[in-house]
Each structure stands twice: as C-alpha cells, then as structure tokens.
Amino acid sequence: MTAATVGLEIDGRAVTVPADATVLGAAQAAGIEVPTLCWHEKVAVYGGCRLCVVEVEGRAGPRLVVACGYPVAEGLRVRTRSPRVDRTRRTILELTAPLVTDDACLKGKLRRFAEEYGADAGRFAAGAVPDPTGCTLCGLCVHTCAEVVGAQAIGFAGRGMDRQVVYFPDAGCEYRSCKKCFSVCFTGKIARESAATVFPGASIREWLAAHGVAVHSLRAFMERRR
Ligand code: SF4
Ligand code: FES
C-alpha cells in the first residue's frame, strides 16, 4: 500500500485501490459484481436505488451501506453477499419491478437481477402500481442530461407515488441528434417515448397543470428538484 492507495478485504479477498475509490469501485476492480440500477461511471453518485447494498464490518457488527457512495478505508471488511444483503436486494427488486411492468416480463438487467435474487416481480404489483410507467426512477437520464450533455432538459417532478421523470421543453433539448439519455435508460422508456413526440403527456407544463402547481420560473423549479 502507498499513501495514495488503501488495502481492504472484499469477500475475503485482499484488494488495493486508490484512496478515493468507493466500495463499488473496489469490488469492480476485483472483478466482483455488485448489482446497480442508478449508478453510471459517467455521472455523479445518486444513491437512489439502494440495490448496491453490501455489508461492512463496524464496531457494532455488520451494517448495510450503499456501495456506490461508500468510501474505501484501510482495513475495511466488506461482504457483497449475505442473507441480509440478498434479502434487501430481493425486496428492492420486487418494489421496482411493478414500476416497469404489470406482468412478469422483466427485461435486461432487471430480469437478470430478479432471477439471481429470486425476486417475485408480481409481489407488490397488485394495487401498489396500478399504471406502470416503464420507469424505475433510477435518474440516469436526468443526470446524464445535466452532467454529460449540460442541457438539463429532463428532471424529476412530484413526490412519492407521484414522482416521475418529465421533460422540460424550455431547455431546448436536441434529443433527435443528442440521444445520450437513450443509451443509459435500460428500460427503454426514454427511447420509446421520445420516438413518438417528446414525452407525450408528461411535459412539465402538462404535469404541473394536472397537479395544480403554479410555477413562476421553470428554472427555479428545476433547481429545487435537484
Ligand atoms: S426514464 Fe429510464 S433512465 Fe430515466 S429514470 Fe426512468 S428508467 Fe431511469
Ligand atoms: S447503484 Fe448504488 S444506490 Fe443505486
């Protein structure tokens, strides 16, 4: 170990990584997969999905932390799989699946993770999410647009069950040529909706009108949501 690196243990394996790495980065460097939905190497850590939970040894015993935002430390001991980790991931996947589909036809990495953790995609479907939007609210499109493109043409609006991704028409999105958000959306929602008009029925003005919210400045509204 040098001053710029730290040594830690992941799943019993000694790993040396840069001192500013996260536990997720250290696991990836060691070739250990930790499942992620909202993490992407090109945008800042959001920490919204919690699927990357791992156990770290603390003074009061093992505790769950989110690997994508947890910094490495000298001597840290990490377990990426345990009954508690797997149970937590399974529940997160069961809560996420109904947002995407009202049947068990999960696709892509959501399907792979659901199978790996034995998640019942229909467990919370009935009643909880009557109208699946195809969006996991991972935020990758929002953060890619803001941080990679610098356009801020997509944002979150609403809270709780009303939370959704909306398009800000005033931001001058050039999605027909840009399409950076298309590639990060693993459910295909962005490409699907943009291919029609632009987020039909979900523009910020339509959302605000539907929810009776008066906004004097779209920019100020966006800033409050960030
Ligand atoms: S539209 Fe896609 S990328 Fe954006 S938050 Fe939803 S699932 Fe994530
Ligand atoms: S990938 Fe870490 S919280 Fe989503």
Residues 77 and 97 in one domain: no
Token representation of residue 49:
């999905």
Token representation of residue 32:
């250990």
Residues 100 and 159 in one domain: no
Full DSSP string of 159-172 = -GGG-EEEE-GGG-
Q: Are 56 and 70 in contact (CB under 8 A)?
A: yes
Residues 26 and 47 in one domain: yes
From 173, 174, 176, select the one nearest 152 (Cα to Cα): 173
> How confident is residue 216, by pLDDT bands cut at 50, 70 and 90?
very low
Instruction: Pick the atom of ligand 2 nearest to 52's CA.
Output: 2
User: Number of folded domains in the chain?
Assistant: 3
Which residue segment(s) compose the domain that 178 sits in? 140-225
Q: What are the start-end ranges of the H helices in the chain?
A: 23-29, 83-100, 108-116, 140-143, 180-184, 189-195, 204-211, 218-225
Residues 164 and 208 in one domain: yes
Of 73, 102, 132, the residue that ends a domain is 132
Beta bridge partners of 157: 164
Residues 92 and 37 in one domain: no
Residues 145 and 200 in one domain: yes
Instruction: Output the domain CATH number for residue 39.
Output: 3.10.20.740
Among 149, 152, 179, 185, which is best to mutate for testing ligand 1, by the most ligand atoms less than 8 A from CB?
A: 185
Task: Render pLDDT for 17-35 as a digit per residue (tens, 0 to 9).
Answer: 999 999 999 999 999 999 9
123 lines ligand 2 (CB under 6 A): no
Of 64, 97, 132, the residue that ends a domain is 132
Give residue 2's pLDDT. 59
> How confident is residue 225, by pLDDT bands cut at 50, 70 and 90?
very low
**Exposure b/e, 149-172, CB count within 10 A at least 16 = b:** bebbbbbbbbeeeeeebbbbeebe
53 lines ligand 1 (CB under 6 A): no
- The DSSP H or E segment spanning 79 is strand 77-79
CA pair distance 133, 66, nearest whole angstrom: 26
Full DSSP string of 204-219 = HHHHHHHHT---S-HH
The residue whose CA has the least distance to atom 7 of ligand 1 is 135
138 lines ligand 1 (CB under 6 A): yes
Residue type at 180?
A: K
CA pair distance 91, 69, nearest whole angstrom: 20
Of 81, 99, 123, the residue that ends a domain is 81
Instruction: Considering only residues 106 and 79, tell me which one the structure prediction assigns the higher pLDDT.
Output: 79
> How far does residue 45's CA lie from ligand 2's centre (Å)?
8
From 79, 75, 82, 84, select the one nearest 27 (Cα to Cα): 79
| Residue 105 buriedness (CB in 10 A; 0-12 / 13-18 / 19+) | exposed
For residues 186-209, give the mean pLDDT.
Answer: 62
Task: Render pLDDT for 68-98 as a digit per residue (tens, 0 to 9).
Answer: 999 999 999 999 999 999 999 999 999 998 8
Residues 31 and 71 in one domain: yes
Residues 122 and 161 in one domain: no
If one counts every other C-beta atom within 10 angstroms of the C-beta of residue 209, the result is 11
Instruction: Considering only residues 131 and 152, tell me which one the structure prediction assigns the higher pLDDT.
Output: 152
36 lines ligand 2 (CB under 6 A): yes
CA pair distance 49, 115, nearest whole angstrom: 18
Share of the chain above pLDDT 90, in %: 48
Instruction: Considering only residues 195 and 29, tell me which one the structure prediction assigns the higher pLDDT.
Output: 29
Task: Render pLDDT for 115-139 as a digit per residue (tens, 0 to 9).
Answer: 999 998 777 766 666 677 888 999 9
52 lines ligand 2 (CB under 6 A): yes
Q: Are 47 and 36 in contact (CB under 8 A)?
A: no
51 lines ligand 2 (CB under 6 A): yes
Residues 184 and 123 in one domain: no
